[in-house]
A and B are shown apart, each in its own frame.
Chain A
Amino acid sequence: MTDPKRAAISFNNVTKGYGPLTALDSIDLVIPHGQAIAILGPNGAGKTTAVSLMLGLRTPTSGEVEVLGGDPRDVRTRSTMGAMLQASGIPAHLSVSETIELFRTYYPKPMNTVQVVALCGLHEKLTTRTVALSNGQLQRLYFALAICGDPTIVVLDEPTVGLDVEGRHAMLATIDGVAKRGRTIVLTTHHLEDADALADRIVVIDRGRIVADGSPAEIKATVGRKRMAFRCNASFESAEAFERAGNSYEILTDRPEAILRDLLARNVEISNLTVTGASLEDAFLHLTARAGDHAA
């Protein structure tokens, strides 16, 4: 039996190393039921390792990962989970509907196929062999396989990778549809706008450690920066880092008023001035920036 108040997923002081390499370092993380959480981080941060541990694909070097109070390596635990993985394959010789039917048999109470197809928008491709699907269609099929068992926890490792803008938006809308059904969703992504659009909570990890944990708004507030953009005829100097392209300048700053005062005092022509709240991308770069040794 699961206690409804118990966490959907918990990492209890989890360290995972591959030989001399430490992929995750003493992670503590509790994901409550029904939360949509995004795990963000640069390549090699440990996102896929975290996902693999949740799914029982890997074993922690030390510490404990629990899913619904059980071990994810236990088939009973995995019967409540659905997953979409990076670089995973499916039998190329099956059609879309055959693949969905196959994966449905893995679960005790699967969703009916009509509903799965409706949620993933694959109606027109039901009889198509998976080998003939486009990238976007294939991603939607993987998503269908993740949800066809009607799991309480859905784990998505980079669900929008390799998709064009249209495909990404379709995928985001599809995931959002499932999130609204009260599922716990764990997603990793490089596209920060995906996390912003889908997640209630964002955990930023870098080099195997959690560097920030909060709502998308909180993550941005932690950084509290503004993005200033303007055109200026005269050359411009500032203590703050800025980017210049011709006469266009962009500055990330937590004191836009001071910069503006400074500009006006110099009596130079400025135009097209905009000041906006920093995007999640900016927040992310700030959080994971390390003095002079950012991962290449």
Chain B
Amino acid sequence: MLLNTAPIAPMFVAQARTEFLRLIRIPAFTITSLALPIMFYALFGLPHAHEELMDTSVGLYSLASFSAYSVLTIVLFSFGASVAAERGTGATRLMRAAPLRPMAYFGGKIVASMSFGAIAMLLLVAFAVATGGARPTAIMVITLLVRMLLGSIAFTILGFAVGYLSSINSAIGILNLINLPLSFASGLFVPLPELPPFVQHIAPYLPAYHYGQLAWGAVGVAQESWTTAAIWLTGYAVVFLLIALRAYGRDERKEFT
């Protein structure tokens, strides 16, 4: 008898499907992550959609802002909350005892959260177009989507770190404490020029600010080049990865050695 292992592709697909089902079957998550960005757009963007803001319309500018908020929130929460929950319920132990490959496990989560993030963002775009809030070109939408998905990797890693640093009970609270102030101070809710001056000073040092720059750049109104934004986000991704690996290693020593 040869000792062999299961092919990784079907395992990866099954894992991604499982994670996607988690995102669409937990109403508290599904509804808030699909509806909140649309609601914010309707409240903050739509009423002034045709006013001018930084060489474009408020409608288009806030479509980019809330696209960033939407994808960022989804990857942060789907990773952070699910990792914390699986550690808390002991699902991690069962999956480790089984011959599940870590690559399929993490890869499945990434693919699922990015797919769901893409759906949420495209729904927001559809809402903006349908209500006459913005008329983005196809190129703008595609550029925005690609940038949001690639840029979200930094926040995926942040979610992973929080998932390993928090418990099943505290994860959601901690994620909100990170997500809301971060999004606000980075100008994703209210345009940067309208933020209090001290926040405007902090903003350029925040990862979500540079993520926002990627989004605004996709509709032609960025204040920095996409390469600058990408370098900042890569730097943050490395920092988050170091924190995540440290937290992961600590958990590993406690639970699995």
Contacts and interface: CB of A to CB of B under 8 A. Distances in A.
Interface of A: 1-2, 55-59, 68, 70, 75-83, 85, 87-94, 98, 101-103, 105-108, 110, 142, 145, 149, 152, 155
Interface of B: 1-7, 10-11, 13-15, 18, 21-22, 25-26, 86, 88-91, 93-94, 96-101, 256-257
8 contacts: A57-B96, A59-B257, A75-B101, A79-B6, A85-B90, A101-B14, A103-B98, A155-B97
Contact of B97 (A83, A91, A93): A83
B90 A87 contact: yes
Contacts of B3: 2, 68, 70, 76-77, 79-80
Given A92-B89, A152-B1, 6 more contacts: A57-B97, A87-B90, A90-B94, A91-B86, A105-B15, A110-B6
Contacts of B7: 108
Nearest to A89: B89
Contacts of A81: 97, 99
A82 B21 CA distance: 25
Contacts of A102: 14-15, 18
Nearest to A87: B90
Nearest to B168: A89
B6 A105 contact: yes
B99 A2 contact: no
B208 to A, nearest CB: 29
Which A-B residue pairs are the 8 nearest by beta carbons?
A: A89-B89, A89-B91, A88-B94, A88-B90, A83-B97, A105-B14, A78-B99, A93-B25
Nearest to B256: A57
Given A2-B3, A103-B98, A89 B22 contact: no
Contacts of A55: 97
A120 to B, nearest CB: 16
Contact of B21 (A57, A58, A79, A94): A94
Given A68-B3, A76-B3, A94-B21, A88 B100 contact: no
Given A75-B5, A105-B6, A98 B94 contact: no
A93 B20 CA distance: 10
Contacts of A98: 18, 21
B22 A145 contact: no
A81 B96 CA distance: 12
Nearest to B4: A108
Nearest to B89: A89
Contacts of B5: 75-76, 79, 108
B29 to A, nearest CB: 10
